[in-house]
Chains A and B, each alone.
Chain A
Amino acid sequence: MKEDMFLISEIERYLEGEMTVQEKAAFDELRRSNPQINRQVEEHQLLVQELDHLGKRKDLQAQMDRIHQQLDMPAIRTTVQEATQAEKRARIRRRTIANLAAAACIALVTSLSTIAIIQNSSRNKSTAQYEDVRRVLNNIQRSQNALINDIKDKNKAPLNPGTYGGTGFAVSGNGYIVTNLHVVAGADSIYVQNTKGDAYKAVSVFEDISSDLAVLKIADSTFKSQPLPYALKPQSITLGEEVFTMGYPRDEIVYGKGYISAKTGFNGDTTAYQVSIPVNPGNSGGPLLDTKGDIVGIITGKQTTSDGIAFAVKSAHLKRLLDEMPKDKQSKKEWAHKSKLEGMNRVDQIKKVQEFVYLVKVYN
């Protein structure tokens, strides 16, 4: 007991640094040689440290409690409350602004996409409603044509009936033919064939995209000039006037009768008439004639959504086209005469006209 006490006081002296240098050296030596004493020293050190810690902590706690008591709590409370309220208000405002911004963004996106969709669909509808009446030739017609070609041995046209078909009509005695540009567009070679079955090679010599017209020239030595029976009437004609057309929706020439139903074409197109007349693929480029036998337009297309509504380019555009053509001087003179068909009955008119209406076959 006495020894233990002595040891403790020695340890305390050692830790407090109260020992002399020699004593300290001796004690260090003792710690090294005696692990039990060493452990006691360490334990004591830890104990005193913790005690000290406890004391300091208590002091601090007491000090803090004192400070806390001195704080002006009511004042702090009010400032804190004010700050909290201000922050809450700011947060609500921020949230409102964020919500508004999100809503605005959504509205913007929605309206823009709606506009885009509507525009797109209306465009789609337009193209869906309008249809060029050129004909895609199928196999049945091909074989039919092949039979005809067999019978007519002087025919030089290739047996292949072509990829596309349309109608054209002569605008001069010496082999100029007008048809729709969309019939001959992208063609490698073009053949025209009349009602007698005579086929001639033709080349496109003049094209006009805006009015969808093309002028072909028969480039064949066997073609014989003939004076035209009809004339071109460049003036606009009246609403409801009876008109007729001839064309090749099949390999056989087909007659169709109708009337001018509106003075503008598809979607208010002023370069065309709306005609109430039965047309089918293959009628494209066919002539539109009035009762006197004057050319008043060229059939170009029809509306798919309703039956019997066709469109025809006005003859004024054909006249302009022919005027613009530099080479064709002869045709101008020929238009000067009056129509030879005036006063004839329809059957005779058809008989005269059909010789100048050609089936246009396009290869590409």
Chain B
Amino acid sequence: MKQIQDIAKDRDLLLGLARSDGKSLEIIYSDNFPVVLRMILQHNGTEDDAKDVFQEAIIILYEKACKGDFTLTSRLKTFLYSVCRHLWLKKLQSNHGMYALPTELEEIIPAEEIVDDHEAKDEQFRIMEKAMDSLGQPCKTILEDYYLHKHSMQEIAEKFGYTSSENAKNQKYKCLMRLKKMFFDKYNTSL
């Protein structure tokens, strides 16, 4: 009975996370990080390793939550723990080719699919990140302001000192074209 209640509570947290509710994220983060930290420290990791792995697991969780088709079947703790374990296992294997699998790192719930899935999606993300970074200022900021922060062309024109929103629009168009070219060049070759 308690288990079911806990899972229900965890589902609420997950909904909060999908709404980008900072409070939910904070609860999830502070509740689960110590466990993961302990696990990573036990298996030849550092605190920074733990932070990286844990944050990656949160990202996976966040993306799953946003997609909406994810239903939590276990405790959030269990889910995060297994994902982290699997991520760390992969890292260990790639860093030291012959690292013997610690028997304690066996799966609790099979997280392999989740992690592999995530890696494929992450590829697109990295391409975009790289493209944006190589775009340079002020293109990057213009695009971010327009597409991410949903600023109007008028605001952007004022911020960057363009004489009219039409000029800003022109600039944005050029930037977008460059980004598009860079992104799809990489995207098509990598796929």
Residues of A within 8 A of B (CB): 4-5, 8-9, 43-44, 47-48, 50-57, 59-61, 63-64, 67-68, 70-71, 73, 76, 79-80, 83-84
Contacts and interface: CB of A to CB of B under 8 A. Distances in A.
Interface stretch (B90-98, B156-164, B178-186): B178-186
A59 B20 contact: yes
Given A64-B58, A83-B38, 6 more contacts: A47-B183, A53-B128, A54-B148, A57-B59, A60-B25, A80-B37
Interface stretch (B28-36, B74-82, B107-115): B28-36
B41 to A, nearest CB: 7
B143 interface: yes
B137 interface: no
15 contacts: A9-B169, A47-B176, A51-B147, A53-B125, A54-B148, A60-B25, A60-B58, A60-B62, A61-B59, A63-B25, A71-B30, A71-B33, A76-B33, A84-B41, A84-B42
Interface in B134-186: 143-144, 147-149, 169-170, 173, 176, 179-180, 183-184
B62 A55 contact: no
A334 B176 CA distance: 140
Nearest to A68: B51
B132 A54 contact: yes
B34 A64 contact: no
Contact of A67 (B29, B59, B149): B29
A5 B22 CA distance: 38
A52 B148 contact: yes
B55 interface: yes
B59 A55 contact: no
Given A53-B125, A84-B41, A5 B25 contact: no
A68 B62 CA distance: 17
Interface residues of B, number: 38
Given A54-B132, A84-B38, A84-B41, A43 B184 contact: yes
B38 A80 contact: yes
Given A5-B170, A67-B25, A71-B30, A47 B180 contact: yes
A76 B34 contact: yes
Contacts of A59: 20
Contact of A48 (B37, B62, B147, B184): B147
Contacts of A47: 176, 179-180, 183
B106 interface: no
Contacts of A83: 38
B34 A80 contact: yes
Of A48, A50, A68, most B-chain CB atoms within 10 Å? A50
B116 interface: no
A43 B148 contact: no
Contact of A5 (B37, B42, B66, B173): B173
Given A47-B180, A68-B29, A57 B148 contact: no
A52 B128 CA distance: 10
Contacts of A60: 20, 25, 58-59, 62
Given A8-B173, A63-B25, A54 B129 contact: yes
B119 interface: no
Nearest to B128: A50
Contacts of B42: 84
B26 interface: yes
Contact of A54 (B29, B59, B62, B128): B128
A50 B125 contact: yes
B173 A51 contact: no
Of listed A43, A44, A51, A55, residue having the most chain B CB within 10 A: A51
A50 B148 contact: no
A67 B20 contact: no
A177 to B, nearest CB: 81
A51 B149 CA distance: 11
B40 to A, nearest CB: 10
Contacts of A9: 169
B65 to A, nearest CB: 11
